[in-house]
Structure 1
């Protein structure tokens, strides 16, 4: 029995369907508002110590409030806001980073393992910075060298991580031909469907 030949136009149509892209809801509105508000607060906090101490404290307390919200939202938020995959992605991060050196990015709708590692590092650094910042204005810890030094180093670490985060987003956007910044603004991410 002979197989029927498939016309070339139909083959091209099937190939196009296999790599068709579609928009998927990824980041919910509360998470996006949290992300951009945190970014603004971190930048303000970075430029205001010893110059505008009152503003520095206000945004510092705001960061602590935002961290508390993120912890809650990590359990109550939408699918890609939750922390349910953090442990799995953290274990996958070393291999992912090695593969990334070879240009192998994988496809993730939410955070990839490197993004998950960055999320944890930023949250921990911000927590240390915020807690030591609050400690440094109390009677007990005001002027205590290790509190001030820890606050300074944690704050510097946050800025280094922010720069790495932005570089990582740009790199992944180029490697995957995806506008990840737009996804964090609109909440929707274009993904390729492979059927």
Structure 2
């Protein structure tokens, strides 16, 4: 038996999937310096700006105050995971909140360093391109950890995290008591 509850608003889902697609397109298919690569990067930076604003004025689960990772919450969550407990959370878990912050920081650093490569001041500077590539690779690593964790928690935990990011509704699995 399953119960459903609204958890992610349309703006959060649009941000998540469009930025994920944009980052993957830029990382895998477009070439640095191409117009399409730059425009996708500008889109991601603009989407980040909207998401940061939404993190202060949006609904509860979208607000940074709801999931900003704090040391006591992280310690408690890690202790629960070490004991094999995967508890239901109203939004992001403490580790999930930390991952959101790390991914957003990574995307921001990729975007800003990419933009710097187009400015007159840093045009053709190898170190700026190296910084851009470093943050792109680091962000890809974070994405891979994120996807692995979401997959694992979707299989072992009380909610299918991929499905809820697609539908905006939490679909919690309940055990039948027979």
What is the TM-score normalised by the length of structure 2? 0.89
* Aligned counterpart for 1:80 among listed residues 41, 61, 71: 61
Are 1:109 and 1:191, in contact at CA under 8 Å, matched by a contact in 2? no
CA distance in 2, matches of 1:146, 1:106: 44
CA distance in 1, matches of 2:79, 2:101: 19
Aligned residues: 173
Which one has the largest radius of gyration? 1
Q: For 1:18-59, what per-residue CA distance to the aligned partner results, in whole angstroms no more than 9, with x for missing partners?
A: xx7421100001111111111110011102124x71111010
CA distance in 1, matches of 2:50, 2:133: 24
Q: Paired residue for 1:126?
A: 107
SS of equivalent residue, structure 2 residue 64: coil
Matched, 1:49 2:31: yes
Structure 1's consecutive aligned runs of 4 or more residues displaced over 6 angstroms after TM superposition are none
SS of equivalent residue, structure 2 residue 171: strand
What is the TM-score normalised by the length of structure 1? 0.82
CA distance in 1, matches of 2:65, 2:121: 38
Matched, 1:137 2:118: yes
Q: Which runs of 5+ in 1 are unaligned?
A: 1-19
CA distance in 2, matches of 1:58, 1:75: 26
Note the aligned Cα RMSD (angstroms).
Answer: 2.0
Q: Which runs of 5+ in 2 are unaligned?
A: none
Q: Paired residue for 1:96?
A: 77
Shift of residue 98 of structure 1? 4.2
Shift of residue 182 of structure 1? 1.0
Matched, 1:165 2:146: yes
Q: Paired residue for 2:163?
A: 182
Are 1:32 and 1:184, in contact at CA under 8 Å, matched by a contact in 2? yes
CA distance in 1, matches of 2:58, 2:159: 24
CA distance in 1, matches of 2:109, 2:124: 17
Are 1:109 and 1:189, in contact at CA under 8 Å, matched by a contact in 2? no
